[in-house]
Structure 1
Amino acid sequence: MTRKTVRIAMNGVTGRMGYRQHLVRSILALREQGGLDLGDGTVLWPEPVLVGRREHALKTLAERHGIEHFSTDLDAVLADDSVDIYFDAQVTSARGEALRKAIAAGKHLYTEKPTATGLDGALELARLANAAGIRHGVVQDKLFLPGLLKLKRLIDGGFFGRILSVRGEFGYWVFEGDWQDAQRPSWNYRSEDGGGIVVDMFPHWEYVLHELFGRVKSVQALTATHIPQRWDENGKPYDATADDAAYGIFELEGGAIAQINSSWAVRVNRDELVEFQVDGTEGSAVAGLRDCRVQHRSATPKPVWNPDIPATEVFRDQWQEVPDNGEFDNGFKAQWELFLKHVYADAPTTGTCRPAPAASSSPNWA
């Protein structure tokens, strides 16, 4: 076996997502398993270079995990020829400038979504990356959720027949921050800082719908700012200028219609924080983060509408659990493996690292 060291500049790893999912559960997890075997006698050994604005925070992370290199100077890191890949998990408003610098430096790109908050910015980055001849992709972690992997198995097996519709419900109550601390950072609720639930969640819905059910042909969405005032991390009130809920209808190639509600102002009355119900001519399924339940045409009950008597059926009991039939790795790690194989073994990326559009539901990166 030949071990090849791959140096990866990781910008934004002091944030929750960048640290937990990308650094610890992906890159460091790959190191713990001995690297990534490419199958040709080569093992990739990822070596993270931590990048950020706060030197103390970077030093703390580096010491905690035995990481040798960190820097607050992005330009210097990008000028280092030993760094092969640039990864970005910064706040949305800071991402575009950093990605343009990385493209100019000739680094392969892997980035959190969205690449930009509008169509023009996303297409500019795509064209620059293509012109530079670099490998590039956007995180699409939802495709690797156990519940959606089970749903994909059903689709591939022809369980649904002709798919008619997809209904998605996502969200939970994010506290305003006055009498209980908010679970999300305050910038998420300021449009001037790149916040908003459309910018955050519609990129996910685009690739989930595209990869599982068909390309999105058209989008209609009503957005709202239901909570107009929130309190920041210092307990100070601020005006929420970004949308905290969006109610979307998506027309898909093939004729299916998807409806997805996204909200940070909804209290959860479902089994998981996100659920998708898929109805087809031969059967239906409800998939969440981990679980998936089905009801086949042959086992569909015959409900009768009668508001004059109480319901005697427990409708949830009429569905069957889809078994795991395998082990599911962390989705972020699985996609990191696919991207690294794409860069260093020329592996295909269809359905895995297909670059995603901006939140405006624009065309995919070409």
Structure 2
Amino acid sequence: MSATDDVVLRVENLVRHFPVKGRLPFTSGGLVKAVDGVSFDLRRGETLGVVGESGCGKSTLARMLVGLERPTSGQVRFGDAVVHAARGRDLRALRRRIQIVLQDPYTSLNPRRTVREILLQPFEIHPDALDRKRRLDRIRELLDLVGLDPSVHLDRYPHQFSGGQRQRIGIARALALQPDVIVCDEPVSALDVSVQAQVVNLLERLQRELGVAYVFIAHDLSVVRHISDRVAVMYLGKLVERGPEVTLYDAPAHPYTKALLSAVPVPEPVGRGDRRRILLAGDPPSPVNPPSGCRFRTRCWQATETCATTEPPLAGDERAVACHYPLAA
């Protein structure tokens, strides 16, 4: 798993800043530092979970991974290609290899097209991907793969499906061109709990059968733990901790990770009273003017002057943490 040859997607110091308009015309109100120096590798056939509070930059990161958003600096490498530097035919070839499943199943599908037309569109954009005579058979295979009946659902419109069924159609569309990587941007957050479980189990089954790698972005820590091999924790545009799922959940090294995990509901009554909930002081700082040094220091219970003056690097290989005073296991 640690071999360089297994890395299918490499993110190197990725930055995305958005300008803020000032109150007067043609003036600047600063920069929103949505993503500010994120690096990680995605290995073939694995799932990397990305978690964090709303507004920490997860969705901006997802859009940059598939080339929908251009980074301010840094790069996303897919093999030998740089995603945001590709143009024309090269970009089209890359988009066959990297697909995305969007958060809202009610707005990610064209309401004017049937399922047949929605699933045919990838082959219309990439006509060399599959012979025209085999496309309808491929669409039926995709619907079977995600648990929908082609004889019933093929000529229906999106409004005739439930939210879980729509998300299955979105997953089928992402799988149409047999990609190596699928970026899942909170794919179950708009669904009921029972439907969430169905979609997550579907993603796991497809990964076993097809060997596709996922970047699974969510704020539900229980779902992320269920599906992920490794987990990266974001706070205010930066990764503060990264490591194997079991290690990170059982022994968090960063104070922010420990605070996040303390908020996860415990379904079993036995031992529930033994867990101490960590309540963070204050609100998350503004991404326009983040704190100096460690960005979490204004809410951290063990911050010192060093945390205010020196930014901790994300140090480590398989298990990495950005903290001057990491927690003991």
TM-score normalised per structure 1: 0.24
TM-score normalised per structure 2: 0.26
Q: Which has the higher helix share?
A: 2
Q: Which has the higher strand share?
A: 1
